[in-house]
A and B are shown apart, each in its own frame.
Chain A
């Protein structure tokens, strides 16, 4: 593992289903973030975590939850997916100089 990995790469999901997007980093960064990217809207922060055991809400948290049981993993859960959650999801971690490193993304389609 080098940097941030995300899984799955892409997923098609029926509305109402539960889905967890996985994110793992190997850089031992304390802070991690989840963004969604939609055409014309840029990247919007969903949830963040400053350190293991803590989480916070971003700009668009509704319908999403996160947990941070350890430093490396930061899963994002959609409890009951809706079509408006169709998006590309990026996980990121923050380095020592405030730079953020992004994963390759998960493309999610909710039908």
Chain B
């Protein structure tokens, strides 16, 4: 119930294309859904996040779509660029015992070919 399932494991997209990464969860107690971007040798960096009372959030070329009834959320990267090549992690936040914890998906390695 604490898992966040992320797919695909890897993704290759041509420059200018749309990258789509999907995540699914079971626990309805999750209340915050961030996406992190990680470049090789670096720590994860917050990219965009959404709360379950919103169905979509857009920041520049990055959009989160959230389907509360299906317990799924996805990241769309429009006009993908080679500089977007990185590993992307979805996550879900839950309050337990007075603390907020993040549960991460296993990650998607995105390669954008020029």
- The CA-CA distance from A94 to B95 in the complex, in Å, is 13
Which chain A residue lies CB-closest to B97? A56
**Does B114 make an interface contact (CB < 8 A)?**
no
Residues in chain B within 8 A of chain A (CB atoms): 6, 9, 32, 34, 36, 41-46, 49, 89, 93, 97-102, 104-107
Is there an interface contact between A43 and B34, defined as CB atoms closer than 8 Å? no
Cβ of A16 < 8 Å from any Cβ of B? no
- Do B44 and A58 have beta carbons less than 8 Å apart? no
Which A residues fall within an 8 A CB radius of B?
A: 4, 31, 33, 40-45, 48, 50, 56, 58, 90, 92, 94, 98-105
Interface contact A105-B102, CB-CB below 8 Å? no
A99-B46, A100-B46 given as contacts; is B99 within 8 A of A41 (CB)?
no
Given A90-B43, A90-B44, A104-B43, does the pair A43, B104 have CB atoms closer than 8 Å?
A: yes
Q: Shortest beta-carbon distance, A104 to chain B, in Å?
A: 5
For the complex, give the distance between the alpha carbons of A65 and B83 in Å.
Answer: 38
Residues B44 and A43 in contact, CB atoms below 8 Å apart:
yes
When C-beta atoms are compared, the residue in chain A nearest to B44 turns out to be A102
Q: Are B107 and A48 in contact (CB under 8 A)?
A: no
B97/A42 in contact, CB under 8 A: no
Select the residue from A41, A58, A102 with max chain B CB neighbours within 10 A.
Answer: A102
The chain B residue with its CB closest to the CB of A48 is B99
Residues of B within 8 A of A99 (CB): 34, 46, 49
Taking the closest CB of chain A, its distance from the CB of B42, in whole angstroms, is 6
**Quick check: B100 and A98 within 8 Å, CB to CB?**
yes
A105 to B100, CA, bound (A): 21
CB neighbours (8 Å) of A50 from chain B are 98-99
Chain A neighbourhood of B49, CB < 8 A? 98-99
